[in-house]
Amino acid sequence: MKQYILLFFIFISLTGYSQTIGSLFQSMPADILPGVSEDNKTMLLVDTGKTTVPYTFGEISKIRQSSDYLEIRSSDIGITQLKLLPVGQDSVIVCVIKTVCGDVCDSNISFYTTDWRKLEKSTFLPSISAENFFDSSKKETENYKYAVSLPDIYPISAAFGDTGNDMTLTFNYKRHLSDDLIAEIKPFLRGDSIILKWDNHSFK
C-alpha cells in the first residue's frame, strides 16, 4: 500500500514530457556535478556534437546527448549519465548514474523528480549485489556458497544504451581476484553483465 501511495504522489507531482534533458541539466543541483557552473552547462549543451569545456576541476566533456539522455565525462575517471524515464502515461523521473573508473568501474544510481527532489531508490531499482550475477538454480551444488562469498568487494557499473530505457549492469570482479579464484566463480555465473528492463514503473 505504501508503494502505491508513493507512486500516486509521483504521478501528480512530476512535470511531464515537456521538459527536456537539456533543461533538467541546466537546473541540476550543484552537488550532483560539483564545480560545473551555469556557463559550463550552457556551453556543453550548445554544440550538438561532442563538446569539451574547462571547469573548476579540469575539463568536462559531453559524450552523448539526445532528447531524454545526457552523458558527461567529468574527469579522466568520472562519467555522469542523466536519463529521463517514463512513469505511467504522462510523467517522468530522472535517473542519474555516476560512475568512477579507478582500478575498476563502480556506479552509484539515484532517482529524482524533475524538480530534483530525491526519490527512494528501492521504489525503482531492485537490490543489487554480486549475487545478482550468479545462477540461483545452482544454489544446491557443491561450492556455490563458497563461490558467491569470494567477491567480497564487488564493484558493479551501470550504463544506459544508445536507445531505449534498459540499464546494463556489469560485474567488475576480475581485477580483484586471482585467475584461480576467477576459475572458481565462472561455473556459477550467469554472465559478467545483466540487463534490467524498465516497465514504466521500475527496473526488473
Give the pTM.
0.86
Find, among 133, 140, 125, 122, the residue nearest to 170 by Cα: 133
Helix, strand or coil for residue 115?
Answer: coil
Sign of CA dihedral 118, 122, 125, 130: positive
Residue 11, pLDDT > 70, answer no
pLDDT, one tens digit per residue, over 73-104 is: 999 999 999 999 999 888 999 999 999 998 88
Q: What is the domain partition of the chain in residue ranges?
A: 2-196
High-pLDDT (> 70) share of the chain, %: 89
